[in-house]
Amino acid sequence: MKFYPYKRLNRPITVRVTSASLKLPDGTRDRLDTSAYSTPQRTVALGVAQHEDWVSARIGLSATLPPGATDPDAPWSGLRVLAVLTEGATNVRSSFDLRQDAPDSKEWSGEVEVFRDDHVGRASLAVHAVATVGGVAGRAIAETDGDWTVDVAAEEPLGGLRLDVKQASFSRSAREWLRPYADVPWVIDASGRLPLVMINADIEGFSDLLGGDSGGIENKVHELLVSQMATDVWTAVFHSAVGDLEVEPDGSPVFPTDWRGEVLREMLPDVVPGLRVEEALRQVHHRRTDDAGWVELQTRIHYAAVRRAGAGKALANVLRALQQLNREDSA
């Protein structure tokens, strides 16, 4: 734990990527899909569009400062919020001012420019709030508790949702809560520090198939199974995240600071499109607690889960493999 000889905020800054685009040699700009960045993994993959000759990338950011940052009686002045991009391999460090969205707002936004010639691999992106405290300028009063990674070559933000995956015999497990589920291939527990996926070892051959090492059509079936499992996980963790939200005195829901908050920021743009994530969370919370439109929202939640699980791509790969197999059989 660090100690500071001046007043600071006691909670971290929350930051999320809202957009990404590449500037190409001809001056045009290719706006990347949301699949280029992942909030749970805190990663931006600039190789997703497979442009090898891009000149620079522009990454849109939105940062939420902790409560008290902009209070009129706060013990600091001249508040600035800076996004800082660093890469050790090239010894590059760049900073960018974020702008306050509205007077007294905790929301700040802006853009980071990443020049391709300055980076060779993975850069770290953090956000810092600095101010004048006790007459000393440039003092840090808050920062993000974990950096984002900007990968200039990766084609996807690898890793996806962080999970704890275990295998057990459901029918004979020491975990008694698993026994009623002995006839299902997996169950999900979203109540812990990380979402837990339990794989049922009682189903013969299932564990080997999930290993995906057999090659051929089995690999494609493996991908399809994993995507189905991931769809179930994303759906479960979203419902867990919205099911136990803290609420401010004015009734506004508060983003959780653990993986649940990351899940919400990742999925809300697809669940309630066209709104800032804070307003989207308020709308989802209102629908769930007032039972007004909550049922209708389930389709959007499922859609958001399917997208993040890559189910469409996995299904397409299986269908292509089957078509190829059929052609070989009929030849």
Express each pLDDT in 189-225 by its tens digit. 888 777 888 888 888 877 777 665 555 677 777 778 8
Q: What is the pLDDT of residues 234-288, one digit of tens each?
A: 899 899 999 888 888 888 898 887 778 878 888 888 899 888 888 899 999 999 9
pLDDT band for position 76 (cuts 50, 70, 90):
very high
Structure pTM? 0.54
E strand segments, 72-201: 77-87, 92-97, 99-100, 107-115, 122-133, 136-143, 148-151, 164-168, 186-189, 196-200
Structure tokens at 34: 């949301």
DSSP structural state of residue 49: T
| Model pLDDT, residue 59 | 96
pLDDT-derived band of residue 61, with 50, 70 and 90 as boundaries? very high
Q: Who wins on pLDDT, 58 or 328?
A: 58
What is the pLDDT, as a whole number, of residue 167? 84
> Three-state SS for 107?
strand
- To 5 degrees, how large is the angle CA 297–CA 19–CA 254? 50
Q: How many helices (H) and strands (E) does the chain have?
A: 6, 17
Residue 61, φ and ψ in degrees, nearest 5: -125, 150
Q: Mean pLDDT over residues 22-39, rounded?
A: 87
Q: According to the model, what pLDDT value does residue 156 have?
A: 61
Q: Which residues, other chains included, contact 134 with Cβ-Cβ below 8 Å and sequence gap of 6+?
A: 6, 75
* DSSP tag of 263: H
pLDDT score of 285: 92
Tokens matching residue 127: 């956000």
Write the pLDDT tens digit of every residue in 287-302.
998 867 888 899 999 9
Tell me the C-alpha distance between 155 and 166, whole Å: 28
Q: How far apart are CA 88 and CA 77, in angstroms?
A: 32
Q: Which of 263, 266, 297, 262 is nearest to 283 (CA)?
A: 297
Q: Give the tens place of pLDDT for each residue, 147-197.
A: 898 988 766 664 445 667 788 899 988 888 999 999 998 999 888 777 888
For residues 19-43, give the mean pLDDT.
86
Non-local (6+) Cβ contacts of 196 within 8 A are 163, 164, 165, 166, 188, 189, 190
Is there a contact between 255 and 265 (Cβ–Cβ < 8 Å)? yes
Give the tokens for residue 163: 């999970």
Report the alpha-carbon distance of residue 162 to residue 237 in Å, rounded: 11
For residues 188 and 146, which has the higher predicted lDDT (pLDDT)?
A: 188
Across the range 85-97, mean pLDDT stands at: 88
Mean pLDDT (the chain) is 85
So what's the pLDDT on residue 214? Answer: 52
Q: What is the DSSP letter of 5?
A: S
The rounded distance, in Å, linking the Cα atoms of 111 and 62 is 9
High-pLDDT (> 90) share of the chain, %: 33
